[in-house]
Structure 1
Amino acid sequence: MTARLLRLYPGVPEDIALSGAYLAHRLHEKGSAGVPFVYASFVASLDGRIALRDPPTGESRLPAGLVSGNDFRLFLELQAQADCLVTHGGYLRDLAAGRLDDVLQIGTQAATEDLAQWRVDNGLSPQPAVVIASASLDFPMPDSPARHGQRVIVATGAGAPAERVAHWRRAGYEVLLAGAGASVDGGALVRELGSRGLRSIYLLTGPRMLDTMLRDRVLSRLYLTTAHRLLGGESFHTMLSGPELGNAGRLRLCALHYDVGAPDDAGQFFAHFEPLPALS
């Protein structure tokens, strides 16, 4: 049976197919030369957890039931519309350790070949570029981007270790400096990527990158899946950590869908938001 969603907002409630629901947003057409469209996505529980942390090891994990097949399909549809995927050194370390799957390519499995064809039909490159944001520049480089012909850019701050910058440049990678400190700043990163002709940027990152993108007012859209379950746990991650955002955290709901086919019959919401203009 084809998965279905109930669109609750905007307009009159309507039953729609899940497949293609996010492709219809055509995010790759929303950016312009020098002004990329930047979007992020998160999955959270009703009590705001995006992951749990095991105190003895410090390792993070996704609890069973937080991510579903329906959510993953929409995640892949967001990927399919990107000129580049922004990831981080922590993901590459987890990937090398076998704790996470490689999600840096699109349409490489039989079940997702339609997304590869969608990119071809819509004038996008076969695979998006990969941008690795890191303050330490201490991470293992996966071989999958090279195997799939993906452009790889390493992004860091001006205060990053000089020997690590030199290391990646000697290895043949483009290293861009986007921020005055060691870490990447959202506004500087978006300007650098926009100057390189990248128009749709999908953030596969965590709370810190979301924070800097919001503070610098360069985030265009936030996609949020809310699983209808409470996770609890004393050690966990949320979408943001750090100082209060203030007015930079004001968002407008653009659409809300209800997924009745989520795990355990609990259901989940698919929503997306856009930041509101700065208050004068």
Structure 2
Amino acid sequence: MMTARMLRLYPGAPEEIALPGAYLAHRLHERGNTGAPFVYASFVSSLDGRIALRDPSTGESRLPAGLVSDNDFRLFLELQAQADCLVTHGGYLRDLAAGRLDDVLQVGTQEATRALAQWRADNGLPPQPAVVIASASLDFPMPDSPARHGQRVVIATGADAPADRVAHWRSAGYKVLVAGTGASVDGGPLVRELGGMGFHSVYLLTGPCMLDTMLREGMLSRLYLTTAHRLLGGESFHSMLSGPELGDAGRLRLCALHYDASAPDGTGQFLAHFEPRPA
């Protein structure tokens, strides 16, 4: 089987490289340390800035067909494989329970991805990352997959979260972190809590709100962005951020840019990663 290839455009002179293994080479699990985890996020966007479309009648969101490619998903799995902690949110768990989204909370559980599980073992990571669920309402169904795979599950919320829901999850045996002064989770307190728990690499499987607070509080270490070469349109949609202007907190430095000509659907996509400017 032919190995997927992509063109590295920056840095250095253009060079064709193998796509599988390209993100594993970043070795993100070695970049963090206790007290200061390496926090990274990834998004897939259209050329007009949509990451998802929203049904205005129901409020439900969906990923448009053709926005995510097999090549991009492979690189997503490589990012996931380097995390010792995944941060998700209550909305994802509700969509998962309703069958609208697939379960992506484990690494290397399918035959096609066994090599990623072996990569974790070879690099001193536990078989599966821990899972942190960020939620303001604390109203979500707990999936059974983390328990089946021996994953540690922690719940994070704000100081104004419903007291009965906090008590519910604590009585069920879950650690509940208070990481925010309001109802929602704030990036700074959450990252400090996770660093104190010994996590070194934290992958955000979340959305615009978590990206916003991580940027505002200077907690984001790296942003991975795949841009599919297509325009989606639509009057109701999600973009990477929603909220007040970020100002200088939103200034990022390009670290690398690649071009994948084959996906999605032969139209091509850019794969880039960015880091905040040094203080």
Matched, 1:196 2:169: no
Q: Distance in 2 between matches of 1:217 and 1:133?
A: 18
1:271 paired residue number? 272
1:186 paired residue number? 187
Secondary structure of residue in 2 paired with 1:149: coil
Amino acid at match of 1:159: D
> 1:264 Cα shift?
2.2
Secondary structure of residue in 1 paired with 2:44: strand
Q: Distance in 2 between matches of 1:76 and 1:48?
A: 23
Q: Distance in 2 between matches of 1:16 and 1:263?
A: 18
Q: Distance in 1 between matches of 2:262 and 2:96?
A: 29
Gaps of 5+ in 2: none
Q: Distance in 1 between matches of 2:82 and 2:21?
A: 12
Secondary structure of residue in 2 paired with 1:100: coil
2:259 paired residue number? 258
Gaps of 5+ in 1: none
Secondary structure of residue in 2 paired with 1:252: strand
Percent identity between the two aligned chains: 85
Q: Distance in 2 between matches of 1:221 and 1:107?
A: 23
Q: Distance in 1 between matches of 2:218 and 2:9?
A: 28
2:86 paired residue number? 85
Superposed CA RMSD: 0.5
Q: Distance in 2 between matches of 1:221 and 1:191?
A: 17
Q: Distance in 2 between matches of 1:145 and 1:134?
A: 17
Q: Distance in 2 between matches of 1:26 and 1:263?
A: 26
1:77-156 counterparts in 2 under 5 A? Answer: 77-156=78-157
State the Cα deviation string for residues 186-206 of structure 1 (Å, max 9, x = none).
000000000000010000000
Amino acid at match of 1:44: S
Q: Distance in 2 between matches of 1:34 and 1:134?
A: 23
Q: Distance in 1 between matches of 2:221 and 2:272?
A: 14
> 1:138 Cα shift?
0.2
Q: Distance in 2 between matches of 1:196 and 1:263?
A: 39
Secondary structure of residue in 2 paired with 1:15: strand
Amino acid at match of 2:173: G
2:248 paired residue number? 247
Structure 1's consecutive aligned runs of 4 or more residues displaced over 4 angstroms after TM superposition are none
> What TM-score, normalized by structure 2, do the two folds share?
0.99
Secondary structure of residue in 1 paired with 2:176: strand
1:219-230 counterparts in 2 under 5 A? Answer: 219-230=220-231
2:70 paired residue number? 69
Amino acid at match of 1:276: R
Say how many residue pairs are matched: 278
Secondary structure of residue in 1 paired with 2:107: coil
1:234 paired residue number? 235
> 1:57 Cα shift?
1.1
